[in-house]
Amino acid sequence: GFLMLLTNTSSYGPYCSNSNLPRTFLVVNSSSVTVLFNSTVHSSGRGFLLSYASSNQPDLISCLQKGIHYSKEQLRVYCPAGCKGVPGDICGHVKQGYRDTSVICKAAVHAGVILDEQGGPVTLVQGKGITLYESSFANGLYSKRGPLSEKRLIFHKDCDGVLEGSGFRASSYWHEQNAMGENRAWIAEHAAFSSSGISWAADQSSTEEWLEVDLGGRRNITGIITKGSSHKYNYYVKSYRVFSSRDGKNWKVYKSNNGEDKAFQGNSDNYQEVSNSFIPPILARYLRITPQSWNQRVALKVELLGCQTARPKALHPYSDNGSKIQQLAYLDGYSD
């Protein structure tokens, strides 16, 4: 088989699958490229992996590149879009790091460093390996458990601390009554990770139900972690949408890059944690989760990640000689 790339003014190729490419990095000065792929009769899979960026990125890498392909301790690479579905395993998660055999760009999507539909620059450090890498589900990707490795990939994320909620509200809550006639209320406050036992559960499961978190002030919200009922019942939310508000009255739905309301992939059981990142972050005081699909009953525990906002504040409006000057500094911890 062979591959050819065509623009309005130039052609590149043909590149044959059974020979080394003369150049693996091409700069094409065009707004569109036509890809022609011809596959001959064969008994096993054949093909090419084409990675691209919309601007000149000299550190662009393939979706197949792994940590073990690099010897440097610190790496700065540019990941192309669309690496999420490319074959290759990842082991670990963002808190502990990833096994060095992990596919770099796929791990970056899992860690919430880049969006798969956009790609982007990735900076990481190769640190000392650990004994066991845990599996997790984040940003639509599963990572596997992995054994001891010589090195691990560590992605640094700013603004990724746990945000403490000052209050929870919900559209409704479930009044459970057991066979003995005892009542138990699955109220909104049980949605906090810090609340042991049952979760919040809606009275009637529908897409009209919602859970709201009040952060007590405006925050940069960079991620969300969800769990199911964490109890003997197998209740959990499979997918959900996110709304945000600065005043608790006017709400905006979180959208994908294509402008459509984004549906986040939720849980597949009642006990494991699932993470999703907000790229770009949400600046808001209130966050509202609206379930779109669920198992048996809408039930949810939630934890938000991010940091306090910063705003410019004027310092020393006059110089030593009395003339007015403009001087700005950013102070962390501002909220209103």
Handedness of CA 321, 324, 330, 335 (dihedral sign): positive
Per-residue confidence (pLDDT) for residue 47, from 0 to 100: 60
Query: Which CA distances in Å does 2 have to 11, 63, 87, 217?
Result: 14, 20, 21, 58
Q: Taking Cα atoms as reference points, which of 121, 230, 124 lies closest to residue 186?
A: 230
Under a CB-based contact definition with an 8 Å cutoff, are residues 286 and 245 in contact? yes
pLDDT bin (cut points 50, 70, 90) of residue 182 is confident
- pLDDT of residue 141 exceeding 70: yes
CA 194 to chain centre: 23
pLDDT bin (cut points 50, 70, 90) of residue 237 is very high
Spatial neighbors of 27 by CB under 8 A, at least 6 apart, are: 56
pLDDT bin (cut points 50, 70, 90) of residue 44 is low
Put residue 65 in one of left, alpha, beta given phi > 0 → left and psi -120 to 50 → alpha: beta
**Three-state SS at 190:** helix
Handedness of CA 186, 281, 160, 85 (dihedral sign): positive
Spatial neighbors of 84 by CB under 8 A, at least 6 apart, are: 106, 109, 116, 140, 141
Under a CB-based contact definition with an 8 Å cutoff, are residues 283 and 335 in contact? no
- pLDDT of residue 315 exceeding 80: no
Per-residue confidence (pLDDT) for residue 298, from 0 to 100: 98
Per-residue confidence (pLDDT) for residue 320, from 0 to 100: 47
> Which pLDDT tens digit goes with each residue over 250-279?
999 999 988 999 999 999 999 999 999 999
pLDDT bin (cut points 50, 70, 90) of residue 36 is confident
Burial (CB count within 10 angstroms: exposed 0-12, middle 13-18, buried 19+), residue 292: middle
Backbone angles phi, psi at 22, to 5 degrees: -65, -35
